[in-house]
A = this chain, B = another copy of it.
Amino acid sequence: MRIPILKLKDCLLISIQWELDDQTALEFQEDLLHKIHATSARGVVIDITSIDFIDSFIAKVLGDVISMSKLMGAKVVITGIQPAVAITLIELGIRLEDVLTAIDLDNGLEKLQQELGD
């Protein structure tokens, strides 16, 4: 089962609500990039509030998908990073630099729309 990607105006919303296995993470990466291309989305909000643990592979996929989305011209906001996930990301050296973050989906979407100048 793949992670649903919702389109709202010119943004894509994704809520990851369970721990990803490696295969699902790679499918998500592929699906998101195709969806950005197909919808000409200008922004992406990835909500990971429900994720309380992240391993090095998933962290790398997340870092990669952010860089790839940027290359395609979409701004990415990550919302709801929990303490343990923040610790893991920094300890793994994945600094998610230049990535917008926000406490929840509402704030993330607001931040993104400000950035996009809507």
Contacts and interface: CB of A to CB of B under 8 A. Distances in A.
A25 to B, nearest CB: 13
Contact of A13 (B3, B13, B16): B13
A78 to B, nearest CB: 15
Contact of A8 (B4, B17, B105): B105
A83 B18 CA distance: 33
Nearest to A24: B1
Contact of A106 (B3, B8, B17): B8
14 contacts: A1-B1, A1-B18, A2-B17, A4-B4, A4-B15, A4-B17, A5-B15, A5-B17, A6-B6, A6-B105, A7-B105, A8-B13, A8-B106, A9-B106
